[in-house]
């Protein structure tokens, strides 16, 4: 497999490791949105949210929780954003599921997305597709 994250798990590529347990590894993002921006990945390869099993997703999220607390406590950040890009159209660059933990400070200038609104009838159309 030619997955860069699997190579990091195997120790073939160096990383700034923040956290590790038997199921997950966390390391600093090489192109951080903010200082301390960390990626949390399962050690087993899963492409995306649909690919990962429920059991492995639970383990991954427990790792995300532990790392988020570590960042908040040790870096003294006010909060953080959690983000998982699912598939290339959503910005997933590495096809190995991973969560971004982006440390936030007051007035840091980071804007993750802008909101919009539905045109008349659009919300109802979406709801009809989802619940029918």
Annotated active-site residue in 37, 96, 98, 100: 98
pLDDT tens digit sequence for 51-94: 999 999 999 999 999 999 999 999 999 999 999 999 999 999 99
pLDDT classification of 16: cutoffs 50, 70, 90:
very high
Domain ranges of the chain: 4-131
Q: Which pTM does this prediction carry?
A: 0.91
The sign one gets for the Cα dihedral 83, 88, 94, 96 is positive
Instruction: For residues 27 and 39, give the distance between their C-alpha atoms in angstroms, rounded to a whole number.
Output: 5
Residue 100 known to be catalytic: no
Instruction: For residues 36 and 39, give the distance between their C-alpha atoms in angstroms, rounded to a whole number.
Output: 10
Q: How many CB atoms lie within 10 A of CB 18?
A: 18
pLDDT classification of 132: cutoffs 50, 70, 90:
confident
Q: For residue 107, which phi and psi values (nearest 5 degrees)?
A: 55, 40
Q: Which tokens belong to 15?
A: 């990383």
CATH topology of domain 4-131: HIT family, subunit A (3.30.428)
Instruction: For residues 58 and 63, give the distance between their C-alpha atoms in angstroms, rounded to a whole number.
Output: 9
């Amino acid at each position: 497999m030619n997955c860069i994250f699997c190579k990091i798990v195997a120790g073939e590529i160096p990383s700034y490791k923040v956290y590790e347990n038997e199921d997950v590894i966390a390391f600093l993002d090489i192109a951080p949105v903010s200082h301390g921006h960390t990626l949390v990945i399962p050690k087993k390869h899963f492409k995306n949210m649909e690919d990962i099993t429920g059991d492995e997703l639970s383990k991954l999220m427990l790792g995300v929780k532990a790392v988020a607390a570590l960042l908040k406590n040790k870096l003294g950040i006010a909060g953080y954003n959690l983000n998982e890009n699912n598939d290339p159209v959503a910005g997933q660059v590495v096809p190995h599921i991973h969560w971004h933990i982006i440390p936030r400070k007051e007035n840091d200038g980071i804007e993750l997305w802008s909101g919009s609104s539905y045109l008349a009838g659009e919300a109802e159309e979406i709801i009809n597709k989802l619940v029918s």
